[in-house]
Amino acid sequence: MIEVLRAGPATTVQDLGRPGYAHLGVPRSGALDPAALALANRLVGNPPSAAGLEITLTGCTLRPTRAVTVALTGADAEVRMDRRPGDVGRPLSVPAGAVLRIGPPRAGLRTWLAVDGGIAVEPVLGSRATDTLSGLGPPPVRDGDRLPLGPSPGRPPPVDWTVVPPVPPRLRLTLRPGPRDDWFTADALDRLLRTAYTVSPVGDRVGARLLGAPLPRAVAGELPSEGVVLGAVQVPADGQPLIFLADHPTTGGYPVIGVVDDVTGLAQARPGTTVTFHGPQR
């Protein structure tokens, strides 16, 4: 078991998600940066699909009941095992009963923790991921939880260190227009591609809300709900764009002006981060 002494406000169990169920109204969910979680799993000898913890902003405090190997990836943060310091990006041996403290990120927003054996909560539709929108999977981690661990896979691979990538001060996202860009004025798409937006404080695993120049509509009518995908840029009535992330709904009624190719950078985007868009390279 891993005992949760302090969970923080938004720590969840995540793996690579549950793809293939959108037609049933179930989003993929999973880690907001799947590559970061897969790397943490590799560092402790787990398969990439093993479940770990996604820790947001304030860090957390844990205590294993058996000796474990852990690894942290994503945002850089202070790590301590009792009084001994550790590092993000390398395997760490934690004795049974030692207190593992993971501090707030020095930059960015989220850190991923893998434990040898993986977090062995009961899977739902083939995944252990917490879906914060639908409620599928385990609930968000709380103080006092005891999270089961799977059997240790044995000695991890001989990796001494992995580079912790810096968090960029600005995000530049590739946008593919459509499917409902014709519901907006010609000026709206030009405005989206030529002006800067900032990440709103109101955001979560469902979507990243942006603040900036509103996008005027050309069609004022109601759009029947239709399918939406990861990275869809939906524009509610206030004209401020919203980029859907891992726990997004599978349908939506506001028009989608475009779709972002890769949203993993938004996993580390704190409120106030500058976001710009550009069209795909031809």
Domain boundaries, the chain: 2-147, 170-278
Whether residue 116 contacts residue 44, with contact meaning beta carbons closer than 8 Å, is answered with yes
Amino acid identity at 24: L
| Per-residue confidence (pLDDT) for residue 162, from 0 to 100 | 75
Given this structure, which CATH class describes domain 170-278?
mainly beta
Q: Model-level pTM?
A: 0.95
**pLDDT of the residue at 201:** 95
Mean pLDDT of 29-51: 95
How far apart (Å, rounded) are the C-alpha atoms in residues 6 and 11?
A: 10
pLDDT at site 160: 63
Q: For residue 106, how many other CB atoms are within 10 A of its CB?
A: 12
Q: How is 191-242 classified by DSSP, letter by letter?
A: HHHHS-EEEEEEE-SSEEEEESS---BS--SPPPPEE--TTEEE--TT---E
d(CA 76, CA 109): 9
Q: pLDDT band at 62, cuts 50/70/90? A: very high
Q: Is the pLDDT of residue 141 over 80?
A: yes
Residue 178, φ and ψ in degrees, nearest 5:
105, 170
**Residue 172: what are its φ and ψ, rounded to 5°?**
-115, 110
Integer-rounded Cα Rg, in Å, for the chain is 20
User: Residue 216 corresponds to which tokens in the numbers above?
Assistant: 């005027």
pLDDT interval class at 163 (50, 70, 90): confident
Q: Give the sign of the dihedral formed by CA 140, CA 141, CA 145, CA 147.
A: positive
161 pLDDT band (50/70/90 cuts)? low
Residue 212 CB partners (closer than 8 Å, separation 6+): 195, 196, 197, 198, 240, 241
* Mean pLDDT for all residues in the chain: 94
Cβ neighbour number for residue 170 with a 10 Å cutoff: 11
Query: Which ranges in the chain belong to alpha helices (H)?
Result: 34-44, 186-194
pLDDT score of 222: 84
Distance separating alpha carbons of residues 264 and 167, to the nearest angstrom: 12
Task: Count Cβ atoms below 10 Å from residue 114 Cβ, excluding itself.
Answer: 31
Structure tokens belonging to residue 91: 């395997």
| Range list of β-strands (E), the chain | 2-6, 12-14, 52-56, 60-64, 68-74, 77-81, 84-86, 92-94, 100-105, 110-115, 146-147, 170-177, 197-203, 207-211, 226-227, 232-234, 242-244, 251-252, 256-260, 274-278
Q: CATH for 2-147, among 2.40.160, 3.30.1380, 2.60.120, 2.60.40? A: 2.60.120
How much is the average pLDDT of 72-92? 94
Q: In this model, does residue 216 exceed pLDDT 80? A: yes
Q: What is the pLDDT of residue 220?
A: 87
Q: Do the domains 2-147 and 170-278 sit in the same CATH topology, yes or no? A: no
Per the listing, tokens 């000898």 go with: 45
